[in-house]
Each structure stands twice: as structure tokens, then as C-alpha cells.
């Protein structure tokens, strides 16, 4: 029986145990496509899964890792054949279905997106679920009718993964980007990515007024809690904030005032169950709208063996940009 390297989370009465194992291929879950994984990444959710700080994993044992890029090895799915380059984000990977921190995965062909021609598998994972989510947020703001002439865009959690890609995308699209960060030492990095202004996240984490001075036409928020509530209270008439994260908390201490007095909208972003047509559109947009030089500035590579020690750092807000994991 063929075996391959994988990170495995096991659960016993004494708690959760994570380690590197030789995983028997016959223990992979059902699926119609087997993929040789080349690259994965560390997202915030992967940090939660590996540390066990939130109940992300809903089946044990579990190979964590919510996204990968690789090459199809075998397929009985009509859309895929051996040799095809593919991307997978979400669909329960690393949560309910054995995930990406392994040399192989067996998955449903319906979950896969074709790797855009101008992206390598490594570049796709330098973007990863964080970057694809940032693109979904940009697309939601565009569907709402926002455009650069409507005013500046706020990005919270700006030095993180979703935030870094959001700053780069919005600035390339012509928006004046206001980047909110708790790491003032990353101001030069954020300006390199395209931020016009960098503000201290403390400006957004204090007490929430129902309405405050209008500062931006909209934004992309990966923090939640008081930060999102303040972002909404400071959004211009008719604007919108796309909410995609909870790095600062899951609560939302807001009032209806921004919605009923300023016509502000709150746009929810989910990358996990997002329909295939929108995923494909997001990846096509990422291929054209994310500058390679900026991608290079935000991504650092590690090996599979370093994932377990790196995971807690993302929860501590110590990771800048994106961590790309070389598998195999």
C-alpha cells in the first residue's frame, strides 16, 4: 500500500494531538479525483484547527489544511484528467474532509477550479484562500456599485493575509486605500502594497457610536467585533463594508443606524461554500488584477515540517502577509 507524508490531528480523552505521519493512501476519503499536492498555505482557520483553539475540525483523525494547488493524478470525473493543474479552497477540506497538509488528497471533482494559465501552483497558494476571499470581497463591493470615484476604501487587519491581498487588489483597481493595522512597523510594507494611508487599528477598536464622521465609501474587514461596527459607523452614505473575518472577535456591537440613516450595507463573504462560477470568476480576476511584484512582497515559503510550529503565530497576529507551504 502506498504511503505519503501528512500532518494528522488525532483526538483522545486527553485532548488533541498533532504530528507528522506516514499516511496510508487507502485511508483517504471518497472522491473522484486524486491530486498530488504541490503547495498549500497557512490560513487563520488552519491556525485554529492545528492549535484546537476553535472547533474547526469536525472529524478525527483529520489532515488539516483548507487549500491546495497541485496536479491531478487520477480522475473519474468528466472535467478532469491526469496532468491537469487544479486549485481547491474550502468545501470542508481540513474540517470534514481530509485536507491539504499531505502529499496527496482525494476529493470531489466538483470542488476543483482549474489553475489559471498565467499562475503557477506556488503563486496560486501565495494567494491562497485568504487572497481568493479578498477577491470575493472586492467583487461583492463592485456588485454593490462601488468604484474608485465613490471614495476611499478601508482595509482592516491590513498586514494579515486577507488584508495584504485586499490592499494590493484595491490599489491596482484605482481605489485610495486606507489600511488599518496594529503593527505600525509594517506601514512601509503596506504602502509598498499600495496603501495611500495607514491608520492605527486602535482608531477602530474603541467604543462604537451609532454614527461617526464619514471617512470611506466602503471597506474589507477581516477583524469583526468593534472594528467592523466602527467601520460601518464611519462609512459614507450608500456605501458598503464586506465582512469576511473574525480575527478580533465574532461579535458585532453595532446599531441599525448606519443601515437606516445612511443606507450603508453589510456584505457577507463566505469562501467555503461559494458556488463554482463565482470561484472561477474570482481566480480569473486574481490572475489579472494582482500584481506579481506585490505577491512576491507578501509571501514567505516554508516546508510541511514547519507548519505545526508556525500555526500558533497566525493566531497571535504575528504573520505578515501569506505563508506558503511547499508539500512533497
Interface with ligand NDP by CB under 6 A: which residues?
A: 43-45, 129-130, 133, 157-163, 181-183, 201, 222-223, 227, 244-248, 269-272, 314, 317, 319
Query: CA-based Rg of the chain, rounded to a whole angstrom?
Result: 20
Q: Can you list the alpha helix ranges (DSSP code H) found in 75-220?
A: 121-143, 161-172, 187-193, 202-205
Distance, in Å, from the CA atom of 18 to the CA atom of 62, rounded to the nearest integer, reads 9
Tell me how far, at minimum, the Cβ of 113 lies from ligand NDP, in Å. Answer: 15
Tell me how far, at minimum, the Cβ of 66 lies from ligand NDP, in Å. Answer: 8
User: What is the full DSSP assignment across 72-116?
Assistant: EEEE-STT--TT-EEEEE-TTBTTTB--SSBSEEEE-GGG-EEPP
Distance, in Å, from the CA atom of 177 to the CA atom of 103, rounded to the nearest integer, reads 39
Q: Of 121, 128, 126, 123, whose CA–CA distance to 65 is shortest?
A: 128
Distance, in Å, from the CA atom of 152 to the CA atom of 216, rounded to the nearest integer, reads 5
Tell me how far, at minimum, the Cβ of 135 lies from ligand NDP, in Å. Answer: 11
Tell me how far, at minimum, the Cβ of 73 lies from ligand NDP, in Å. Answer: 27
Tell me how far, at minimum, the Cβ of 138 lies from ligand NDP, in Å. Answer: 13
For ligand NDP, the closer of residues 121 and 180 by Cβ is 180
Q: Are 176 and 141 a contacting pair, CB within 8 Å?
A: no
For ligand NDP, the closer of residues 87 and 269 by Cβ is 269
Alpha carbon separation from 231 to 177, 213, 257, 268, 299 (Å, rounded):
14, 11, 13, 14, 27
For ligand NDP, the closer of residues 57 and 162 by Cβ is 162
Q: Are 181 and 200 a contacting pair, CB within 8 Å?
A: yes
For ligand NDP, the closer of residues 99 and 161 by Cβ is 161
For ligand NDP, the closer of residues 181 and 310 by Cβ is 181
Tell me how far, at minimum, the Cβ of 294 lies from ligand NDP, in Å. Answer: 15
Residue whose beta carbon is closest to ligand NDP:
160
Tell me how far, at minimum, the Cβ of 50 lies from ligand NDP, in Å. Answer: 13
For ligand NDP, the closer of residues 31 and 248 by Cβ is 248
For ligand NDP, the closer of residues 24 and 200 by Cβ is 200
Amino acid at each position: 500500500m502506498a504511503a505519503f507524508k501528512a500532518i494528522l490531528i488525532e483526538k483522545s480523552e486527553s485532548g488533541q494531538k498533532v504530528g507528522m505521519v506516514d499516511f496510508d493512501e487507502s485511508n483517504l476519503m471518497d472522491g473522484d479525483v486524486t491530486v498530488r499536492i504541490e503547495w498549500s498555505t497557512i490560513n487563520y482557520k488552519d491556525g485554529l484547527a492545528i492549535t484546537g483553539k476553535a472547533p474547526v475540525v469536525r472529524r478525527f483523525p483529520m489532515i488539516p489544511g483548507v487549500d491546495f494547488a497541485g496536479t491531478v493524478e487520477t480522475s473519474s470525473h468528466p472535467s478532469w484528467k491526469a496532468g491537469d493543474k487544479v486549485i481547491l479552497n474550502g468545501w470542508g477540506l481540513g474540517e470534514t474532509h481530509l485536507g491539504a497538509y499531505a502529499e496527496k488528497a482525494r476529493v470531489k471533482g466538483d470542488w476543483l477550479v482549474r489553475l489559471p494559465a498565467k499562475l503557477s501552483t506556488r503563486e496560486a497558494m501565495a494567494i491562497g484562500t485568504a487572497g481568493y476571499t479578498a477577491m470575493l470581497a472586492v467583487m461583492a463591493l463592485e456588485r454593490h456599485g462601488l468604484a474608485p470615484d465613490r471614495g476611499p476604501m478601508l482595509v482592516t487587519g491590513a498586514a494579515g493575509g486577507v488584508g495584504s491581498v485586499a490592499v494590493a487588489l484595491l490599489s491596482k483597481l484605482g481605489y485610495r486605500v486606507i489600511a488599518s493595522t496594529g503593527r505600525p512597523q509594517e506601514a512601509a510594507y503596506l504602502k509598498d502594497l499600495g496603501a495611500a494611508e495607514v491608520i492605527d487599528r486602535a482608531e477602530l477598536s474603541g467604543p462604537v457610536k451609532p454614527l461617526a464622521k464619514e471617512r470611506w465609501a466602503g471597506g474589507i474587514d477581516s477583524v469583526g467585533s468593534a472594528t467592523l461596527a466602527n467601520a460601518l459607523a464611519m462609512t459614507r452614505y450608500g456605501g458598503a463594508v464586506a465582512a469576511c473575518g473574525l480575527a478580533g472577535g465574532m461579535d458585532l456591537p453595532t446599531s441599525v443606524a448606519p443601515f437606516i440613516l445612511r443606507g450603508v450595507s453589510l456584505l457577507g463573504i463566505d469562501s467555503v461554500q461559494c458556488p463554482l462560477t463565482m470561484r472561477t470568476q474570482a481566480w480569473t480576476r486574481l490572475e489579472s488584477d494582482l500584481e506579481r511584484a506585490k505577491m512576491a512582497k507578501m509571501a514567505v515559503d516554508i516546508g510541511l515540517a514547519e507548519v505545526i510550529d508556525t500555526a500558533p503565530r497566525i493566531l497571535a497576529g504575528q504573520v505578515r502577509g501569506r505563508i506558503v507551504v511547499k508539500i512533497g
